[in-house]
Structure 1
Amino acid sequence: MKSPTSIVDVDRPDSWSRYRAGMCDTCAANCCTMPVEVKLPDLVRLELVDAFEAEHEDPKKIAKRLSKAGLIEHFNFKNSIFTLSRRASGDCQFLDAITRRCTVYEKRPNTCRLHPQVGPRPGHCPYGLLIKKR
């Protein structure tokens, strides 16, 4: 069962809220249910791939290993972009299901670092108020 959160349609950027400083403090992390596309440097930062492997191994071989381990759900061969796997709930694998906070925040991918400045609707986010359990 999903944690009690406000439901926002992340697939409809026209319904998103204009981003304001401090919004993340009370948000249910709806952005963390969207697909996360990463490149090799992100995977190195996340410690899913070591620097030597990233420099010397074929990205297709890396993708095969990460896919088999359940860490990625897709690899775009043409652009060498990996899509991180999500849980059955749709949440990012690095999102704490209870606190709704990122467990790898300091190592998070560039896609996450640049949100909401970059994305489907720059300057907006799928904000939803986090409802805490009592």
Structure 2
Amino acid sequence: MKKPDIDRPSTWKPYKSGMCNGCHGGCCTMPVEIKISDLIRLGVATEDEAQGSIKKLAKRLMKEGIIVSYRSGTEFFMLSQKANRDCLFLDTKTRLCTVYEKRPDTCREFPSIGPRPGFCPGSSHV
């Protein structure tokens, strides 16, 4: 059986309970769109900033390397990734999320939402 390819959702496996046990953060190498509420929960933005100029906030977060873009039409911020595609908050050695308790809603709801709802891009252990 072919190994799932994160860039080809058609190769992903149906999600089953327990699949995340022993996973090495495969989904944590996909781009993550987040909302202002996620930025506040992560502690990288304040409620006051959320009430002010979002474009100014986005500019600051881009300069700090936390996000790569902001789309005002959808109000989504694109979270930065490391050079190897890992999420900014994924520990390179342990492959665990360093902000798990504060993680964005997109991460909390995956794989219910995403490119192929109900499917996981997990590796061959799946």
The alignment's TM-score, normalised by the length of structure 1, stands at: 0.87
Identity among equivalent positions (%) equals 51
Report SS of the residue matched to 2:20: helix
Letter in 2 for 1:89: N
Cα RMSD of the aligned pairs, angstroms, is 1.3
Distance 1:129 1:24 in 2: 12
User: Quick check: 1:73 aligned with 2:68?
Assistant: yes
In the alignment, structure 2 segments of 5+ residues that lack a partner are none
Q: Deviations over 1:55-78 (max 9, x none)?
A: 2x1111110000011110111122
Say if 2:7 is the partner of 1:11: yes
TM-score by length of structure 2 reads 0.92
Report the CA distance between 1:121 and its aligned residue.
Answer: 0.9
* Structure 1: gaps of 5 or more residues: 1-6
Matches for 1:1-134 after TM superposition, within 5 Å: 8-55=4-51, 57-129=52-124
**How many correspondences in the alignment?**
123
Q: Which consecutive aligned stretches of 4+ in structure 1 deviate over 6 angstroms post-superposition?
A: none
Cα deviation 1:14-62 (Å, max 9, x = unaligned): 101111111111112110010000010000000010112112x111111
